[in-house]
Structure 1
Amino acid sequence: MRTFGSVLAVFLSLLALPGAAQEARFVTWENDSWFKTDRYYTNGIQFSSRSLEDSRGDLTRRWTGRACRLFGCDDARFLFTQYSIGQLMTTPADITIAAPQPFDRPYAGLLYAERQWLFLAPGGDAITTLAAQAGLTGRLSLAEPAQKLFHLVFDRPEPMGWDHQVGNTLAVLVSVERRSAWRALSGEVAGKVRLHTAGHWRLALGSIQSYAAGGVTLTIGKNLPAVSPAPPGIGNRVAGADTSCLWQWLQCTLVLGAEGRGMGYNIFLEGRPWKDDDPGVTPRRWVGDLTAGLRLDFPQTRGRLHGPWFVQLRAIRRTAEFRAPVHVPRHSIGSLTLGIDF
């Protein structure tokens, strides 16, 4: 339980920080145990803070400015910066085997820091997100002790194969995403409830992953903006507006999505570049996700040092990500986000 105590202590310390210029602070936990499995992408934890203050330095401002001129957001308004730290881990289907498993997903971990800059187009119809991420893989990611401690505390099988994980390296990733409102497919559903449709594309390049993605998101709720950032940044609140579900103390938004990705490289499947001693499998170059999420806001929970709390639940259904002589099933992951808005 000390692990969860530490996680809670970190999150509460974030809440205790001054709220000036902050939009949100939240923690997200993803795990496949919600669907009675313990394999593949099996766990992720991320702490995030969003700041409304444009505190970019000269170098970052020049880099984001050049990127915006290239991707069509040079006339967009700065929306916010998001700072995140987190850890991801992947394992094969059977973690009780100590020997190498050449036809199953390798053990791998990533301990990372990420910064995102979001820009809102004039008219509010498009959001562009620029992101940079750097992290440590291998034993430096601390994924092995984290999983072993979790399994010890909750009396689960001990993972035996971490001696055969993707090795140590400093890995990086830069990405750009453009999310645009599809007004022709948006409108009123019933009463004040609206359906908003948005399409998105994303390009990512780096030694963590390289891919191109595209997809569509359906958002159902009240008083929705034309387009919102990707969850958990669902902007479902307008000052003074009614976004309640059945009661005034509860606001809710439903999000459904689909995304397809063309994968060029994935360190979690293929190992480090030019490292033949890393475990790896043959990746599938086309991968797809279906997602369903529900966000609940509690407007009456605003406190002296923080804004109202929100909770978001999300389920992700992912197609098989690699090829093997045996059947590789699809995979489902559950996601829980707990946070505050200012």
Structure 2
Amino acid sequence: MRVIGSLLALSAFLVMLPCSGQETPATAGFLVWENDSRFNTDRYYTNGIQFVSRSTEDDRSALTRRWLGTACRLFGCGDARFLFSQHSLGQLMYTPGDITVAAPQPLDRPWAGLLYVERQWLLLAPDGASITTLTAQAGVTGRLSLAEPAQKLFHRILDRPRPQGWDHQVGNTLAVLVSVERRSAWPGLSGDLVGDVQLRTAGHWRLALGRIMSYAAGGVSVTIGKNLPPVAPAPPGIVNRLGPLDTICLRRWVQCTLVLGAEARGVAYNLFLEGRPWKDDPGVKPRRWVGELSAGLRLDFPGTRGREHGPWFAQLRAIRRSAEFRAPLPVPRHTVASLTLGTDF
């Protein structure tokens, strides 16, 4: 428990670490919105929104470098070079299958929300064949997450059914998380398809520990496009190029990249399903093994480049996730749509 407590304290500490001053950082900004309404549902993981600022300037303070160096000695990224850092602010919402019921629903997914800040550091291996992502996240759950007023306002504006059961949500707590992910190219399953169209296959693993959730995950992704980096898919916001347009789309004003993915996850703890430890929170029995499939399309618009910013991009994804908890009645799989919009500055 002392080790876990130290890691959780480190997460909150890393989020607050100062950066050394840089007057003109090169940044990318984007918005990520995830919602299940595109698939005619309003349940489970029903909404997520994230505002992101990403900097390619290495503005890490000496203290940050020491912490990241310690982590990289553990996870084999000590010789990797800094790629970029990322600052995020976001909110997540979870609800049961029927949001119009005001009474407790002990056999369905609990109401829960999270309001969080997050910092990430991405490091690229010397051969360019792997990217390591170190993440520290800290946030609040319960009424402090503001998920209840946010959902009610959204439903009022769009004239949707009013959510009735937020009085039975997972309670207030400081929720923190630290994680590491390694994404590596698989050259044996990569190559050229037709003409300049390329196929890139990459595998990844991820470890996460915290009061939000603790899990281990592994998966694979396949990317089809042109001018692809060795490790694909590249994170949003770093592939806006200055060169001539070269696209697999049928229209010359847009550049397209297709991404397919699969992931399996072994879950030791999930706050949004089990509630806070030793508290009288609503909760259900989680499934310890969860899988998901995803399909995405990234669209870059080179003609939108301006004097103060790079070209705009949009990224569309659909994520299909297996049942995450057990109940007397069958728990359906769940599908969420994700939209990312952004540009660089």
Aligned residue in 2 for 1:314: 317
Where 1:226 maps in the other structure, the secondary structure is coil
1:338 and 2:341 are equivalent in the alignment: yes
Aligned with 1:214 (options 210, 218, 234): 218
The alpha-carbon deviation at position 229 of structure 1 amounts to 5.8
1:301 and 2:304 are equivalent in the alignment: yes
Aligned with 1:252 (options 256, 280, 295): 256
Instruction: Quote the Cα distance in structure 1 between the aligned partners of 2:61 and 2:173.
Output: 27
Instruction: Quote the Cα distance in structure 2 between the aligned partners of 1:168 and 1:268.
Output: 12
Aligned residue in 2 for 1:181: 185
For normalisation by structure 1, the TM-score amounts to: 0.91
1:326 and 2:325 are equivalent in the alignment: no
Contact preservation (8 Å) 1:287, 1:321: yes
Aligned residue in 2 for 1:130: 134
Instruction: Quote the Cα distance in structure 2 between the aligned partners of 1:134 and 1:176.
Output: 15
Instruction: Quote the Cα distance in structure 2 between the aligned partners of 1:317 and 1:167.
Output: 28
- Identify unmatched segments of 5+ residues in structure 2: 1-21
1:194 and 2:198 are equivalent in the alignment: yes
The alpha-carbon deviation at position 24 of structure 1 amounts to 1.6
Contact preservation (8 Å) 2:223, 2:233: no
The alpha-carbon deviation at position 246 of structure 1 amounts to 2.9
Contact preservation (8 Å) 2:214, 2:269: yes
Instruction: Quote the Cα distance in structure 1 between the aligned partners of 2:234 and 2:273.
Output: 25
Instruction: Quote the Cα distance in structure 2 between the aligned partners of 1:257 and 1:131.
Output: 21
| Residue pairs, 1:15-34, within 5 angstroms | 20-34=24-38
| Residue pairs, 1:243-282, within 5 angstroms | 243-244=246-247, 245-275=249-279, 277-282=280-285
Q: Indicate how the Cα distance of structure 1 residues 173 and 183 shifts in structure 2: closer, same or farther if over 3 A, else same.
A: same
Aligned with 1:107 (options 111, 130, 137): 111
What is the identity, as a one-letter code, of the residue corresponding to 2:285? T
More displaced, 296-305 or 87-96?
Answer: 296-305
Where 2:193 maps in the other structure, the secondary structure is strand
| Residue pairs, 1:6-85, within 5 angstroms | 20-85=24-89
The alpha-carbon deviation at position 228 of structure 1 amounts to 3.6
Instruction: Quote the Cα distance in structure 2 between the aligned partners of 1:232 and 1:260.
Output: 22
Q: Deviations over 1:181-238 (max 9, x none)?
A: 00000000111000000000000000001000000010100010000466535x5555
Contact preservation (8 Å) 1:222, 1:242: no
Contact preservation (8 Å) 2:245, 2:302: no
The alpha-carbon deviation at position 240 of structure 1 amounts to 2.1
Instruction: Quote the Cα distance in structure 2 between the aligned partners of 1:116 and 1:49.
Output: 11
Contact preservation (8 Å) 1:19, 1:305: no
Q: How many residues align?
A: 323
Instruction: Quote the Cα distance in structure 1 between the aligned partners of 2:94 and 2:207.
Output: 23
Aligned residue in 2 for 1:8: none
What is the identity, as a one-letter code, of the residue corresponding to 2:339? L
Where 2:290 maps in the other structure, the secondary structure is strand
What is the identity, as a one-letter code, of the residue corresponding to 1:248? R
Where 2:64 maps in the other structure, the secondary structure is helix
Q: Deviations over 1:137-186 (max 9, x none)?
A: 00000000000111111111111100000000110000000000000000
Contact preservation (8 Å) 2:201, 2:232: no
For normalisation by structure 2, the TM-score amounts to: 0.91
Aligned with 2:230 (options 221, 226, 239): 226
Instruction: Quote the Cα distance in structure 2 between the aligned partners of 1:157 and 1:61.
Output: 49
Aligned with 1:95 (options 99, 108, 125): 99
Where 1:147 maps in the other structure, the secondary structure is helix
The alpha-carbon deviation at position 307 of structure 1 amounts to 1.0
The alpha-carbon deviation at position 108 of structure 1 amounts to 0.2
Where 1:303 maps in the other structure, the secondary structure is coil
Q: Deviations over 1:247-282 (max 9, x none)?
A: 33211100000000000100000001221x100000
Contact preservation (8 Å) 2:25, 2:55: yes
Aligned with 2:293 (options 284, 290, 294): 290
- Identify unmatched segments of 5+ residues in structure 1: 1-17
| Residue pairs, 1:143-154, within 5 angstroms | 143-154=147-158
